[in-house]
Amino acid sequence: MLSSSECKQRMRPAAITSPARIVCSFLMALFLGAECCDRAQALAADSGSGGHVLLITVDTLRADHLGCYGYQRIKTPNIDQLAVDGVRFNRAYAQVPLTLPSHAVILTGTYPMYNTVRDFTGVGLPPSVGILSEAFERHGYVTAAFVSSLVLDSFWGLRRGFQTYDSVVNAESFETGTRQNADRVAKETVDRFLSWYASRPTEKPFFAWLHLYDPHSPYRPPEPYFSQYFGHLYDGEIAYCDDQIGRVFTALKRTGLYDRTLIIFLSDHGESLGEHGEDEHGLFLYSATLRVPLIVKAPRGVMPGGRKVDAVVSTIDISPTVLQLVRFTDPLTKQFQGNSLASFLNDPERRDDRMAYAETFYPKNSFGWSPLRALIGARHFYIDAPRPELYDMAKDPGQTTDLRAERSAETNVFKARLNHFVRQYTTRATPPAGSPVPADTLEKLRSLGYLAYKAPAGTGDGVNLPDPKDKIKTHRVILRATVLSETGRFAESDRLLRELAPAEPKLYAIPLILGENAFREGRLKEAQRQFLACLNLSPAFSPALIGAARAYHADHQNEKVKPLLQLALQQNSHNFLASYALGVVASEEKNYVQATSYFQASVRDRPNFAQAYEGLGIAQAETHKYREALSNLEHARTLGAFNAVLLNYQAFALSNLGNPRKAVELYLRVLELKPDYALARLNLAMAYRELGERENALRQFGKLCDSDSQLCEQFKGSFQ
Ligand SMILES: [Zn+2]
């Protein structure tokens, strides 16, 4: 990296022919622009740093589905213009074809062997691994992230260094197990970004990361894209994203910052779209899911736009590139395992023999099949699998002809290189664990099409694991059965799974989905049987424990419910679903003291869990802690909970806190919602009596007696 003085010294003489000139002049533009034009950049310059930086990642975006990469069937004018204004990398590869690990690579400049984020069954990024945002924060930047999927939510550890981290689960309402807040469309995320952009402190430069998720399946773009792209809706999602990105560029241009902002645009992985038998991404390591678009746009006038780089580069190079371009001297650079791309911006034709590494542990961690690794060179693409593959990318970019048999010597060289590479970049010390992944995550991931099952223990990393190539049909059936299950087509889902079961006796995803289907259809005995079968294959598997507990609870077998939930809590003491369910069971047994402590644990681990606040408030009202009860019930309402029972307890607490007038108003609302709610009517009669409104009290008590003779008999003494 050039220091400021080196840069100036090289600039002063006839720097026109200097190879470092363009990079230098870019750095100078950031630097001088600060001095002459913009207070924000002036401050940045004072602290020795560069200008504004915007990182845009569009999920699941194949490079060859963008206009600027030669695709004819789509209109992506905004991204195309960015490519005209910047430098387009033609052979950029992601390191993992999965959202979270790929973004961990992009934002840390380290390989998964080092940062340990391999899929979404782990605990996320460990605190010991630094993030690009932290470097910007250290240099006095305003930092903000706007992400569109649960798979990048703050609990995965990527939020450090971002003063604003706008993610999906922060949505005000929270319901477990629904798609509702597992992802959001580009317009919502861009709206949030633009509102932040308009109100951010402008005396400092910004580093912002915008993540859009729409090209991820299922492909359902809004109109007019749905109609315009009917028959190829994946492209419709991309065109829609392009339009939303256009809104961002318009805002930057309107405020005069587009030309002065370093913009990096890329994707985290591609989409297989049926190639090699894979519909989506994650299982295989072919170009279809690894090759991504990458455009780097420097401030205007710094370097000619519209250039193209053909060398193999990696998304691990993004963080080193950004820090070099903004001229930071920062401790984060010490951890970098990628190499800056700045020299390509200067000289697109530059020869470079770097290779790209890729891996996927999704087959192993979720199914017990072999993990895959790949090494991608200028010409050859090697995939390390139980049956390795070698492709000549110049002759066979679609990777249809495996050359392993005829080029076994070359294949062996690649294998040795790959092994060396993995050893070189694997972390020696095991980093301390991050915070545990919330209990509902696996369930929600499934609503996004990921089968985040943790494979049975003891499968090891050995060579005897099945090759994912041989399991693609099984994978497709499981995915299909999951989609059918989620859309309520249980019988069809069951049929697929039962056909698959004899060939896959160890695949515990099968009894899990069968159990869920049975539960959702009210076939409780069958649900119990399947969840137990799943636990038999994988003892202590949390979704099966919770599933079995739900099935026994619905079947009124509470004695079987508690041990299952307690086991789930033993596995993960932060399993807020297990503590919530234990709170419900304790409430049913009228053990409100115990219920209170379970609900408290649940809201501690999931602070926006409305139902747990509701349970907590009710348990507190039952134990005469009216002030706490009122506060928690009100909080449940602000989180979106609203029902007659909640309002009844809210009124009950108000009444006991000496506010019968307000209580009466609430009881009347309760009875509008649920006219046959006898307890609420009795409470209303009592509140009227307390207010001295005898006539109203007697009228309500009379109505109670019409509907509930037992309560009538029990309390008639109070109303005579
Ligand atoms: Zn992704």
- For range 617-623, the mean pLDDT: 97
Identify the residue with better confidence: 407 or 119. Answer: 407
Per-residue three-class SS string for 39-65: HHHHHHHHCCCCCEEEEEEECCCCHHH
Q: Summarize pLDDT for 70-118 with one digit per residue, the tens.
A: 999 999 999 999 999 999 999 999 999 999 999 999 999 999 999 989 8
Residues contacting residue 251 through CB under 8 Å, at least 6 positions apart = 194, 197, 198
Q: Summarize pLDDT for 180-239 with one digit per residue, the tens.
A: 446 789 999 999 999 999 999 999 999 999 999 999 988 999 999 999 999 999 999 999
- For range 470-487, the mean pLDDT: 92
- pLDDT for the residue numbered 157: 84
Residues contacting residue 527 through CB under 8 Å, at least 6 positions apart = 515, 516, 518, 519, 547, 548, 551
Q: How far is the CA of 479 from the centre of ligand 1 (A)?
A: 17
Q: Is the peptide bond before 215 cis (omega within 30 degrees of 0)?
A: no
Q: How far is the CA of 613 from the centre of ligand 1 (A)?
A: 33
pLDDT over 50 at 35, yes or no: no
Helix (H) or strand (E) holding 291: strand 291-297
Paired with 452 in beta bridges are none
pLDDT confidence tier of residue 569, bands split at 50, 70 and 90:
confident
Per-residue three-class SS string for 88-143: EEEEEECCCCCHHHHHHHHHHCCCHHHHCCCCCCCCCCCCCCCCHHHHHHHCCCEE
- pLDDT for the residue numbered 487: 87
- Of 488, 474, 450, residue with least CA distance to 119: 450
Amino acid at 345: L
Q: How far is the CA of 289 from the centre of ligand 1 (A)?
A: 10
Q: How far is the CA of 442 from the centre of ligand 1 (A)?
A: 16
pLDDT over 70 at 433, yes or no: no
Q: How far is the CA of 471 from the centre of ligand 1 (A)?
A: 22
DSSP, res 183: B
Q: How far is the CA of 215 from the centre of ligand 1 (A)?
A: 9
pLDDT over 70 at 438, yes or no: no
Exposure on the CB side of residue 706, measured as CA atoms within 13 A: 10
Q: How far is the CA of 158 from the centre of ligand 1 (A)?
A: 15
Q: How far is the CA of 269 from the centre of ligand 1 (A)?
A: 6
Amino acid at 424: Q
Q: How far is the CA of 273 from the centre of ligand 1 (A)?
A: 14
DSSP, res 207: E
Q: How far is the CA of 211 from the centre of ligand 1 (A)?
A: 10
> Where is average pLDDT lowest: 142-156, 381-395, 427-441, 613-627?
427-441
- For range 356-382, the mean pLDDT: 93
Q: How far is the CA of 351 from the centre of ligand 1 (A)?
A: 30
Q: Summarize pLDDT for 229-287 with one digit per residue, the tens.
A: 999 999 999 999 999 999 999 999 999 999 999 999 999 999 999 999 999 999 999 99
Q: Summarize pLDDT for 572-612 with one digit per residue, the tens.
A: 787 888 899 999 999 999 999 999 999 999 988 777 788 89
Question: What are the chain's domains?
Answer: 49-346 (3.40.720.10)
Cα-Cα-Cα-Cα torsion 384, 388, 393, 395, nearest 10 degrees, comes to 180
Computed over every residue of the chain, the mean pLDDT equals 86
- pLDDT for the residue numbered 189: 95
pTM for this prediction: 0.77
C-alpha torsion sign, points 101, 106, 112, 115 = negative
- Of 688, 716, 683, 717, residue with least CA distance to 702: 716
Number of Cβ within a 10 Å radius of residue 367 = 26
Q: Is the peptide bond before 660 cis (omega within 30 degrees of 0)?
A: no
The CA–CA distances, whole Å, from 190 to 52, 59, 197, 251, 666 equal 18, 14, 10, 11, 39
Q: Which residue has the tokens 């019988």?
A: 491
